[in-house]
Chains A and B, each alone.
Chain A
Amino acid sequence: IAGITQAPTSQILAAGRRMTLRCTQDMRHNAMYWYRQDLGLGLRLIHYSNTAGTTGKGEVPDGYSVSRANTDDFPLTLASAVPSQTSVYFCASSPGVGTGELFFGEGSRLTVL
């Protein structure tokens, strides 16, 4: 089934540890995004990539980094996790830029202790 695959689905992590959330899409979409979802705050954009080889900062980029070496993969790295990064993380892709038509993965639940 075509779509977005995220891994891991759930993870408990000690503060200070490094963590990479993986995201792979098989729809050949140019644009990809990482959001975090927190109760009462909705979905907030962390980083985005309009095409392979380019990335940009979203609303809440601090503490996170991304790379886009190819069209299909868009990993999100937490260099040194802190408890405030406890959240549900969603990867998404879009066939075009600026249309708002996003396809989301199932999410990765991260708990930082």
Chain B
Amino acid sequence: QKEVEQDPGPLSVPEGAIVSLNCTYSNSAFQYFMWYRQYSRKGPELLMYTYSSGNKEDGRFTAQVDKSSKYISLFIRDSQPSDSATYLCAMIRSGNTGKLIFGQGTTLQVKP
């Protein structure tokens, strides 16, 4: 079983829809949770960063962490065609030597 599981999709939604992207994990030691966005043929870029449980909002994006359920989510409101990309969840243990664990990535397409 992989430490981090993410539905690869693809996920296709109409413009303006609310998108929910999710990851589950098995290691309760994970403390930092990230979402990276990767456009086609580009490197990933950090989108959201949260520590421990709770919500964090940044514009149209909300990251949610539920450590009791070992479940994290990324919500995109009013989705735009420019949001079409692959979204990778990632997590790391506190004090770890930088060994970030990534999910497989979910490919999102927002249709105009």
Contacts and interface: CB of A to CB of B under 8 A. Distances in A.
Nearest to A3: B43
A26 interface: no
B14 to A, nearest CB: 26
Interface string A37-60: 000111111001010000010110
Interface string A66-88: 00000000000000000000000
A7 interface: no
A97 B100 CA distance: 10
Contacts of B102: 42-44
A56 B36 CA distance: 24
Contacts of A33: 98
A42 B98 contact: no
B18 interface: no
Contacts of B65: none
Nearest to A30: B98
A8 B102 CA distance: 25
Nearest to B30: A100
A43 B88 contact: yes
Interface residues of A, number: 28
A4 B100 CA distance: 18
Interface stretch (B68-76, B77-85, B89-97): B89-97
Nearest to A33: B98
A44 B3 CA distance: 12
Given A98-B94, A99-B92, A100-B49, A58 B44 contact: no
A48 B43 contact: no
Interface string B22-52: 0000000000101010000111111001000
13 contacts: A40-B8, A41-B104, A42-B6, A42-B102, A42-B104, A50-B98, A98-B93, A98-B96, A98-B98, A100-B91, A101-B46, A102-B46, A106-B42
Kindly list the 3 A-B residue pairs having the minimum CB-CB distance in the complex, ordered from nearest: A104-B43, A42-B104, A43-B102
Interface of A: 4, 31, 33, 40-45, 48, 50, 56, 58-59, 90, 92, 94, 97-107
